[in-house]
């Protein structure tokens, strides 16, 4: 039975690995546990229940989890219980019990809605509690008890799962099929957040722009504008978009709606159409550039960031050079680049990983250096502009405040000693210096 009365002997510790989706999942898990009477603590030593919300998107992710569990198995003698949540839990399933017998709970993200029932089983002494939905589930994890870690900026998951099955990616196998929340539930959560003082909302999904309103009322672009119109909301962001489902009306929504931030994260993964086909990405270099052209034609300057994988099986030096020329052509504002690593259950694991690690590392270094040069140039374009920044904190060592530009760029700035803008407030900052990964300025009084 749910209760909001905390039980002093029921304390939990939760550690999160991975992406923004995992961070927000943890916020919802924490809120659920607190609602069930548990108290969150800051250390493993204090906890009765130790949880790890895991990510398996990168190489050796599973081993990192098992190493961490091994470090703490000594606590089993103290009566502590351990649980593995998230992607590694779904991927490895009940094999986790065999490799780590001191684990009592294994639950994938698609099963979080059943956490209250799983907690009852744990409290009853069950040593092997599982929540491992197959990918056919239609359920989403909606809760009013989210424990948000930031009082001013927060997440709303609008779509869970993935149906794209990119050759290198484990997500469709660990998070299930795509399933969208209703427009009503998303807007209701946005309104609750606005009423609680949140002004910056980020809509989340593995492929956020693949959102399909179950009632067919609104497109993704329509939902963006609807959330942006919620009274009290000043900024709306969204991530991560898939190029195949990135439509022109999304650009038109950003152009016509000031509350929608002028930034799009659009992972390209490779600049070679041949490699994109092998990756099963469902678009070509030319189609990706067409979407970039839509954004570049907008009356509003839209910042573009991306993800890139180097060293995918079969990527030739010529293919890699096409990725470098794509950087030159697009002039990305930020690039998150990674070496290819084979993931369990994915089609690419059957491909011969013919590119040596040394060569992958070399290509990654070349790409990152070229992108650093591009950003050193593109960030210079902000010099002299006045940007609105949401204050996020203070760097005491440098006597600076810091916050975020609407284009998702970090801005460090100074202000008068007599003025102390509150965290979460919005201030105007004149940009006086541009660094490769951030901007520097002075607050306008």
pLDDT digits (tens, 9 = 90+) for 317-332: 999 999 999 999 999 9
**pLDDT, position 5:** 52
Averaged pLDDT, 176-190: 94
For position 8, what pLDDT does the model report?
55
Does the pLDDT of residue 2 top 50, yes or no?
no
- Please give the residue that has the higher pLDDT: either 174 or 227: 227
Average pLDDT over residues 242-256: 98
Domains recognised in the chain with CATH numbers: 11-131 (3.40.50.12160), 150-261 (3.30.750.210), 266-380 (3.30.750.200), 383-443 (2.40.50.140)
- For residue 76, is pLDDT > 90? no
More confident residue, 287 or 26: 287
At residue 18, does pLDDT exceed 60?
A: yes
Per-residue pLDDT band for 78 (boundaries 50, 70, 90) equals confident
- Does residue 11 register a pLDDT over 60? yes
Predicted TM-score of the model (pTM): 0.88
Write down the mean pLDDT value for the chain.
Answer: 91
Distances (CA, A) of 376 to 90, 301, 321, 434: 41, 18, 21, 7
Report the C-alpha gap between 173 and 316 in whole angstroms.
29
Q: Is the pLDDT of residue 201 over 90?
A: yes
Q: What percent of the chain has pLDDT over 70?
A: 97
- Assess contact for 207 and 175: CB atoms under 8 A: no
Range 277-285 average pLDDT = 98
């Amino acid at each position: 039975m749910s209760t909001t009365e905390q039980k002093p002997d029921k304390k939990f510790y939760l550690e999160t690995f991975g992406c923004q989706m995992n961070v927000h999942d943890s916020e919802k898990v924490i809120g659920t546990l607190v609602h069930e009477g548990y108290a969150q603590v800051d250390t493993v030593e204090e906890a009765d229940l130790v949880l790890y919300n895991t990510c398996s998107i990168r190489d050796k992710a599973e081993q990192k989890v098992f190493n961490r569990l091994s470090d703490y198995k000594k606590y089993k003698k103290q009566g502590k219980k351990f649980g593995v949540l998230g992607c590694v839990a779904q991927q490895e399933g009940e094999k986790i019990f065999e490799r780590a017998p001191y684990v009592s709970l294994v639950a994938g993200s698609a099963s979080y809605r059943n956490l209250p029932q799983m907690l009852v089983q744990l409290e009853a002494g069950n040593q092997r509690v599982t929540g491992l939905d197959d990918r056919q589930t239609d359920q989403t994890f909606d809760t009013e008890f989210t424990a948000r870690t930031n009082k001013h900026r927060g997440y709303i998951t609008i779509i869970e799962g993935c149906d794209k099955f990119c050759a290198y990616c484990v997500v469709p196998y660990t998070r299930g099929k795509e399933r969208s929340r209703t427009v009503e539930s998303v807007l209701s959560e946005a309104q609750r957040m606005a009423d609680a003082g949140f002004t910056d909302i980020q809509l989340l999904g593995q492929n956020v722009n693949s959102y399909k309103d179950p009632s067919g009322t609104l497109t993704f672009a329509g939902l963006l504008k609807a959330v942006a119109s919620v009274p009290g909301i000043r900024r709306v962001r969204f991530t991560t978009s898939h190029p195949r489902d990135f439509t022109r009306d999304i650009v038109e929504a950003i152009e016509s709606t000031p509350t929608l931030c002028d930034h799009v994260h659009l992972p390209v993964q490779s600049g070679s159409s041949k490699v994109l086909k092998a990756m099963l990405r469902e678009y070509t270099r030319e189609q990706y550039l067409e979407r970039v052209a839509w954004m570049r034609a907008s009356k509003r300057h839209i910042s573009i960031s991306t993800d890139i994988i180097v060293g995918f099986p079969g990527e030739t030096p010529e293919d890699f050079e096409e990725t470098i020329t794509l950087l030159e052509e697009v002039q990305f504002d930020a690039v998150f680049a990674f070496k290819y690593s084979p993931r369990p259950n994915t089609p690419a694991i059957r491909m011969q990983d013919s590119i040596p690690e040394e060569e992958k590392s070399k290509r990654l270094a070349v790409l990152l250096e070229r992108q650093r040069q591009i950003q050193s140039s593109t960030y210079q374009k902000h010099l002299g502009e006045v940007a609105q920044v949401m204050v996020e904190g203070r760097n005491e060592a440098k006597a600076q405040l810091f916050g975020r530009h609407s284009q998702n760029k970090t801005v460090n700035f100074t202000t008068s000693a007599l003025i102390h803008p509150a965290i979460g407030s919005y201030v105007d900052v004149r940009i006086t210096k541009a660094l490769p990964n951030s901007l520097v300025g002075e607050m306008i009084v």
